[in-house]
């Protein structure tokens, strides 16, 4: 399909997923009003899921896009799909546990989020900064039996972290080897 180039994620059945944080507003490419996921269905035909209405339930304004934002679709080994949406003053975790048919939104009191994705980790850990961009947190979601997530496990890692929006390498500093 026609889309803005972004990283491609593959699920366990080798289907690709590409996130597109849509059309520019007023000739400004930093903000968007559409969130679309492109993927192949079981018949190997491209389909697009427009998640813009899901986002509007949580925040009725444009969201940020660009190189500093998380642009990957994350899929865990159980087929759960995760998408990060970043607004000017907050962020939202979108989650589907049924192959993208239904979506749940989890507002986070952070402004910048990145996924740590390690093989066989369900769900992925979220690295995040608070609104002033200084405190670094690990948010460790937990899958619940009812199919939802609990995102309340937020661990402060640093109170003087540099702001990941100012450059690359954010994930390299979020853990040590």
pLDDT, tens only, 56-92: 776 666 666 555 578 889 998 888 999 988 877 778 8
Joined tokens for residue 108: 């986070």
Instruction: Report whether 36 contacts 55 (CB < 8 A).
Output: no
pLDDT given for residue 64 in this prediction: 63
pLDDT given for residue 71 in this prediction: 82
Name the pTM for this structure. 0.82
pLDDT given for residue 35 in this prediction: 83
Joined tokens for residue 112: 């910048």
Lowest mean pLDDT among 42-51, 132-141, 168-177: 168-177
Q: Is the link from the previous residue into 123 a cis peptide, with omega within 30 of 0?
A: yes
Instruction: Report whether 91 contacts 112 (CB < 8 A).
Output: yes
């Amino acid at each position: 399909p026609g889309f803005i180039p972004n990283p491609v994620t593959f699920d366990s059945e080798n289907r690709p997923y590409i996130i597109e944080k849509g059309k520019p507003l007023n000739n400004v490419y930093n903000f968007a009003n559409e969130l679309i996921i492109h993927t192949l269905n079981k018949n190997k035909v491209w389909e697009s899921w427009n998640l813009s209405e899901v986002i509007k339930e949580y925040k009725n304004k444009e969201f940020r896009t660009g190189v500093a934002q998380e642009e990957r679709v994350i899929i865990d080994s159980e087929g759960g799909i995760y998408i990060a949406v970043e607004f000017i003053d907050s962020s939202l975790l979108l989650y589907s546990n049924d192959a993208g048919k239904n979506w749940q939104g989890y507002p986070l009191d952070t402004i910048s989020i990145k996924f740590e994705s390690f093989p066989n980790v369900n769900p992925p850990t979220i690295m995040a900064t608070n609104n002033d961009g200084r405190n670094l947190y690990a948010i460790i979601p937990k899958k619940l039996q009812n199919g939802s997530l609990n995102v309340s496990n937020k661990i402060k890692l640093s109170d003087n972290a540099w702001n990941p929006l100012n450059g690359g390498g954010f994930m390299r500093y979020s853990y040590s080897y």
